[in-house]
Amino acid sequence: MLKEFKEFALQGNMLDMAIGIVIGSAFTAIVTAIVDFMIMPLVGALTAGVDFTTLAVSVMGVDFKYGAVITALIKFIIIAFVLFMIVRAMNKFKKKEPVKEITKICPFCKTSIDIEASRCPNCTSELGDAVVTETV
């Protein structure tokens, strides 16, 4: 059983996941700092300094702190937007992979066929080298 556990714990996927979680935690700290210390003060300034976390209603002696829920929703929307902007910026830096040709057009019947086909499955013509390619 110890051997099986060792194999499980040291699998590549498990280590990749662990690294992803650690980096995700560090990234969360950065995004939370941006939201808490840069964006939320702007929101506070725009709402004339209203602190939503203090808003509450008391029902039969029990406090329902709906202001904390409002604050959490605002933070969620802001964090989601910040993450969207970061991912969007990162995607611009990614190298675009060339489009791989996966189909070609039969020069005789003009139907789309597999790139590796040597004979058209529709008109049974031999394709040879005179085939116009199509990218997908």
Stretch 101-114: mean pLDDT: 84
Q: pLDDT value at position 12?
A: 66
If one looks up domain 2-93 in CATH, what number appears? 1.10.1200.120
Phi, psi (deg, nearest 5) at residue 63: -85, 125
Largest Cα separation within the chain, whole Å, is 85
More confident residue, 126 or 11: 126
Summary mean pLDDT of the chain: 81
- Please report which confidence band the pLDDT of residue 57 belongs to, taking 50, 70 and 90 as the band edges: very high
pTM for the model stands at 0.50
Using a pLDDT cut of 90, give the percent of the chain over it.
6
Of 96, 94, 127, 129, residue with least CA distance to 110: 127
**Torsion sign (Cα): 13, 16, 22, 24:** negative
Judged against a pLDDT cut of 50, whether residue 32 lies above it is answered with yes
Partners of 104 in beta bridges: 113, 133
Of 74, 7, 92, 6, residue with least CA distance to 36: 74
Note whether 131 and 123 are within 8 A (CB).
no
Domain boundaries, the chain: 2-93, 97-136
Whole-angstrom CA distances from 105 to 12, 48, 88, 112, 128 are 42, 64, 35, 5, 12
